[in-house]
Structure 1
Amino acid sequence: MTPAYIIVLIAMVASWIIQRRLKSKFEQYSQVGLQNGLSGKQIAELMLADNGITDVRVISTEGRLTDHYNPADKTVNLSEAVYSERNAAAAAVAAHECGHAVQHATAYNMLKFRSAMVPALGSVSRFMPWILLAGILMMQTTKVPLGIGIVLFSLTTLFSFVTLPVEFDASKRALAWIDKRGIVTPQEHAMAKDALWWAAMTYVVAALSSLATLLYYVSLFMGGRRNN
């Protein structure tokens, strides 16, 4: 078993652990009602208004932890629980997603870079798995397909790392706003900060997992070259 393969396995286990921890944290903090009684929808609309954003809609989306900001149609999509509930977890998520809307409105450079990568990655994601598979199967005859697959996979890895400052900045904006606006008490602020930290860790592990997988493919490529 190669070191790169071991790293991939470790990353997979770490991802599973953090996902479980994140789910546990959100369930825990969802039991703590906000003293101000505001719902996630109301908090999102208030943060948008405070930042002078009038062209973004706050809508409800199905699922759990499916919250996201869509820059294409300018919508803050909140999962059903976050949209209607009035607790520390909902406040954290709603403000975080509005943090992305603020990034968009202020032309935050890393968000612009990330958004510019999306169209290309949409095409890459459709073909990359097949190219990598073909590259592995053809290693004994040619390394070209695997090399192409590695280049394409490196783009997805870059995207995962570009995502990190975007997510951390959105959380920073969210926490600063809910504190300044008095949306949460000090105890609720600590819960919101903790929930967003665990959410951010999912992106960190995803980026490291992508890097580990990239190194695994590179090790296959280099090993095949030495064998030739």
Structure 2
Amino acid sequence: MLLIFGLSAFVSWRLRSKFNEYSQIGLSNGLSGAEIAQRMLQQNGIYDVRVVSTEGALTDHYNPQDKTVNLSNDVYYGRSVAAAAVAAHECGHAVQHKMAYGPLQMRSALVPILSVSSRYLQWVILLGIFMLQTTPIPLAIGVALFALTTLFSFITLPVEFDASRRALAWIQNQGVVNQREYGFAKDALWWAAMTYVVAALGSLATLLYYASILAGGRRSD
């Protein structure tokens, strides 16, 4: 667990470092993140998705519920390699939505369940650990709920990698970036993807830890 925590901290630091670095490299075409997003959506035949700015740093995301590409201010107004990469990546999710990309649909289906279970998950697991010598049922429920969280983390991986693949292909094919800028954009999105990989591994490690407690409690019965 300490290894995963350390790795997560390193990847998060590296991502912010890369984003800050590539935010200082201006695009040769001078387009802003918002302009790139609008162009990518239109060229993929998507006209019902709005591009909006949102507060915070690295808060960029696509919301399939209200069909919005939410870009942080640095990305929305930025005219850098980092802004281009992030804006195109989030639009990649909009393209996935339009094409009914399987992993995205699976992830979206889990969101309502996880939004409810996440409120009580830690309390259920804590109660289950205290009651383990009496009954394994509460902890078993907690482990099952946490397994859904872990499943969500792993389903997220192909969703994120595919969005980056679509983004990189589009910005290259459309001449949004030159060869040098493409390399920087690819590197930025790779580090962004690594944050999801580490999160998935951390979730799996935690799940196995709780499962081992449950198994140990059953053997002692």
TM-score range, shorter chain: over 0.9
Pick the aligned partner of 1:196 from 171, 186, 189. Answer: 189
2:174 aligned with 1:181: yes
In the alignment, what sits opposite 2:48? 55
Offset from partner CA, 1:144-183 (integer Å, 9 cap, x none): 1111100110000000000000000000000000000000
Alpha-carbon distance between aligned partners in 2 of 1:79 and 1:110, rounded to the nearest angstrom = 25
2:149 alignment partner AA:
T
Note if 1:170 corresponds to 2:163. Answer: yes
**Alignment partner, residue 10 of structure 2:** 17
Aligned to 2:154: 161
Give the drift of 1:57. Answer: 0.5
Query: Comparing 117-126 with 162-171, which one deviates more in the overlay?
Result: 117-126
Task: Note if 1:68 corresponds to 2:64.
Answer: no
User: Where does residue 5 of structure 1 map in the other structure?
Assistant: none
Looking at structure 1, the residues matched to 30 and 37 of structure 2 have their Cα atoms a distance apart, in angstroms, of 14
Residue 113 of structure 1, CA deviation = 1.0
The number of residue pairs the alignment matches comes to: 221
Out of 98, 105, 118, the residue aligned to residue 125 of structure 1 is 118
Give the TM-score of the pair, scaled to structure 2: 0.99
Q: Which runs of 5+ in 1 are unaligned?
A: 1-7
The range that moved more, 133-142 or 55-64, is 133-142
Distance in 2, Cα, partners of 1:13 & 1:136: 26
TM score, norm. by length of structure 1: 0.96
Deviation at 1:227, TM superposition (A): 2.1
Mapped pair 1:136 → 2:129 = yes
Identity %: 66
Corresponding position of 2:107: 114
Name 1:95's counterpart in structure 2.
88
Q: 2: distance between equivalents of 1:151 and 1:99?
A: 32
Extract structure 1 runs of 4+ deviating beyond 2 A: none
Amino acid in the other structure paired with 2:56:
G
Moved more, 133-142 or 49-58: 133-142
Give the Cα separation in 2 of the matches to 1:13 and 1:145. Answer: 31
**137-146 vs 14-23, greater mean Cα deviation:** 137-146
Q: Distance in 2 between matches of 1:39 and 1:98?
A: 14
